[in-house]
Structure 1
Amino acid sequence: MTLIRPTLAAAALTFSALTLPAQAAEFTLTSSDIAEGQSLSIAQVFNGFGCIGLNKSPQLSWSGAPADTKSFAITVYDPDAPTGSGWWHWTVFNIPASVRSLPAGATAPGKGLPAGSIQGRTDFGSSGFGGACPPEGDKPHRYQFVVWALKTETLPLDAQASGAMLGFYLNAQALATAKLTAVYERQKPNVK
């Protein structure tokens, strides 16, 4: 009887391994312009509020999304902003499921964003990419670039949607997310 138990246990393990779904590819986000844990360049720095930059969104590419993805969204969020609620730097949603990358400087449908995509309102008060601009001399801030794989083709929102409102819908419709976190610190000027 003791010989049967290991055989039954091995058979049960083999059967359960065969019935498990195949492991999906890892959902990843990469960029030719930014790197995990590295500083953003002047290209991704806001031009205003005392910051001088090019205010250009970075190139982004993603792969390994779940097979049943019906659309994508992208958010850029600074959890270290001294607001008590962070800072939304960019939100784009209703990106078609066939899209796997955005060029640097994507600003509107036909200008880097695919047709049907919508940019929501950032905490700068307008839609479109708003680059890094932390307070002078503050610690380095983290800028979380996240691509969301969604189970719906469109979200019932428009360009006036706030980051918080979009976040509510994204969390309800997310199949998976991939994140790339860069940093930026605004130095105090040297005054002698």
Structure 2
Amino acid sequence: MRRSTRAAAALAGVTLAVTGVTATNAAAHNKSAPGYGFTKIRKGVPDSAGHFTVTSPDVRDNGAFPASAWADSFGCTGPNQQIRLSWRGAPKSTRSYAVTMFDPDAPSGAGFWHWLTWDIPPAVTTLGPTPPPTAVSGTDDAGVTGYLGPCPPSGDIPHHYEITIYALDTPSLSLPPTTPATVTTFTMSPHILATACLTAIAAR
């Protein structure tokens, strides 16, 4: 009987860890975002992936987006200027890069993809407003091709936008620009050698 009780308690602990992290964190989330809970989804980057470094002259890691990078839609009237990026330290076996910007705090049940570009040549280590000729500018969750800046709901919690560079083992994902964001990231997942990520924050 004692053994069964201990097993049940252990199972309950595992269930809590998987579904809600901790009761304390859940309570904190509920206080900061009334009406919306949080759910965990499986990440698209394998645990075996390495890491390298990305920086931006426009935003520091865990810093606020500049006004120039905000969206010109969803109630925002920003210039929607793409964040500039530079990276170093990727694996020598890299055959192409991809870039994404994802908002895990969007109240959609599945986050929100703001920006996807792939098939960036391995010799390229910077990205400005104009992508390399061979790169593919993908379609985000708003149906827009190219960069879509932040515009979180007014009065919502601060949103943490994950800007990620992926070093890939393939020269091309062989996907058209109209490919849905989730299909793009699913296709990319088994090809990821390493990633570099910075987080930018926006709230209004």
Superposition TM-score, scaled by structure 1 size: 0.79
SS of residue paired to 1:152: coil
Partner of 1:135: 153
Distance 2:180 2:90 in 1: 25
Partner of 1:59: 84
From the CA coordinates, give the structure whose radius of gyration is larger. Answer: 1
Partner of 1:148: 166
Paired residues, number: 155
Structure 1: tracts of 5 or more residues without a match: 1-24, 107-111, 187-192
* TM-superposition CA deviations, 1:123-149 (whole Å, max 9, x none): 111211000010001010011000000
SS of residue paired to 1:113: coil
Identity %: 40
The reply to whether residue 80 of structure 1 matches residue 105 of structure 2 is: yes
Superposition TM-score, scaled by structure 2 size: 0.74
Q: Which has the higher helix share?
A: 2
**Which has the larger displacement, 83-92 or 49-58?**
49-58
Distance 1:48 1:170 in 2: 28
User: Which of 30, 51, 57 matches 2:55?
Assistant: 30
Which AA in structure 2 matches 1:92? T
Which AA in structure 2 matches 1:97? P
Q: Which runs of 4+ in 1 moved over 6 A?
A: none
Which AA in structure 2 matches 1:145? I
Distance 2:118 2:167 in 1: 10
Which AA in structure 2 matches 1:125? G
Over aligned residues, Cα RMSD in angstroms? 1.1
The reply to whether residue 170 of structure 1 matches residue 195 of structure 2 is: no
Which AA in structure 1 matches 2:55? T
User: Which of 159, 164, 176 matches 2:177?
Assistant: 159
**Shift, 1:28, TM fit:** 0.4
